[in-house]
Amino acid sequence: MLKKHGQLFLTIAIFFDTIVICLSWLAAYYIHFKTSLGPPPRHTIPELEIYLKTMILVWMVFMSSIRIFGLYQPHRGKSFSHEFLIIFKVVFFSILILTAATFFYREESFSRFVAVYFFCLVITLMIISHLFVRIVLKKIRSLGFNVRYVLIVGTGELAQSLVEKINLHSEYGFKIVGFLTNHSELVNSDISGIRIIGLFNEISTVINEFGVDQLFIALPLSASNEMEEILGYLNEESVDIKVVPDLFRFMNLHAGVDELDGLPIVNL
């Protein structure tokens, strides 16, 4: 079901971006050669057919850039500024490649003003179209469609902070099914209006019963031994697993994640 939904929204995204790229290219040609909005052309106005043929190459370069920078990768749980940055990279890189290509293709001369107009149009319209898709997705998710069911392992301060963040961003499409705990006396009680539905060793049963798509492990540093136990229960499960590190109280403005020969290192 989720795979079908993902394929559907991928098709919609490609459709919108294709329209945006093609319309921006044709509009850039029209603005420069057919209107008085910019400086007049220095040479003879080229046939529209030339730009129509080139549009295929433009589309191919953009689609390749989109794949390279992962614009169509799921952005659930990330702000629009993250997606905006990727769009900027895609457009800038594509224009760079197309500009470089004109140095090797001398049969036709392409206007630099068209390239400038195209850059402004395509980046603006792509941002608008992707923002529109986000708004539509948010509306669809508010109706109960395209929702990912989330299970949170842990009931402490870290887990409750995670709940607050998820509730603040309904556009991400997360629906919390409940908590898991290691204390049997807490089962069936509520925290922040969300029920504790089982113990750690019942994790596989809960995942299958509630159709869990994503698992968040939000345990304190003192529960590191329990982490190995929980991961052992998940050997046969295909659920997405996210670990929320209990490091926030130690982190400052310079915090980040580095890598040393494949080994992740957290800077505090």
Residue 255 and residue 162 share a domain: yes
Residue 45 and residue 132 share a domain: yes
Q: How far apart are CA 236 and CA 47, in angstroms?
A: 61
Residue 193 and residue 62 share a domain: no
Among 86, 107, 142, the domain-final residue is 142
Range of the domain at 63: 2-142
| In 35-79, alpha helices (H) | 48-69
Widest CA span in the chain:
83
Look at residue 187 in the predicted model and tell me its pLDDT. 92
In this structure, what token pair is assigned to residue 2? 């989720």
Q: How far apart are CA 237 and CA 235, in angstroms?
A: 6
| Torsion-angle region of 129 (φ positive above 0: left; ψ -120 to 50: alpha; else: beta) | alpha
Backbone phi, psi, residue 255, to 5° = -70, 150
In the chain, how many domains are there? 2
239 falls in which pLDDT band (50, 70, 90)?
confident
- Strand ranges in the chain using DSSP code E only, listed in sequence order: 148-153, 174-181, 190-191, 194-199, 214-217, 240-243, 256-260, 263-267
Q: What is the pTM of this model?
A: 0.59
> What is the side-by-side strand order in the sheet with 190-191?
190-191, 194-199, 174-181, 148-153, 214-217, 240-243
Q: What is the CA radius of gyration of the chain?
A: 25
pLDDT above 70 covers what percent of the chain? 79
Backbone phi, psi, residue 195, to 5° = -80, 145
Residue 89 and residue 204 share a domain: no
Residue 152 and residue 132 share a domain: no
Residue 6 and residue 136 share a domain: yes
Beta bridge partners of 194: 191
Residue 156 and residue 87 share a domain: no
Over 70: is that where the pLDDT of 255 sits? no
Residue 106 and residue 24 share a domain: yes
Look at residue 1 in the predicted model and tell me its pLDDT. 39
Among 142, 164, 191, the domain-final residue is 142
Q: How far apart are CA 247 and CA 23, in angstroms?
A: 48
Residue 64 and residue 84 share a domain: yes
Residue 171 and residue 131 share a domain: no
Among 81, 113, 142, the domain-final residue is 142
Residue 89 and residue 26 share a domain: yes
Could you read off the pLDDT of 71-119 as tens digits, one per residue?
A: 988 666 677 788 899 999 999 999 999 888 877 765 556 678 888 999 9
Higher pLDDT residue, 33 or 266?
Answer: 33
Q: Which of 95, 90, 94, 55 is nearest to 72 (CA)?
A: 90
Residue 9 and residue 134 share a domain: yes
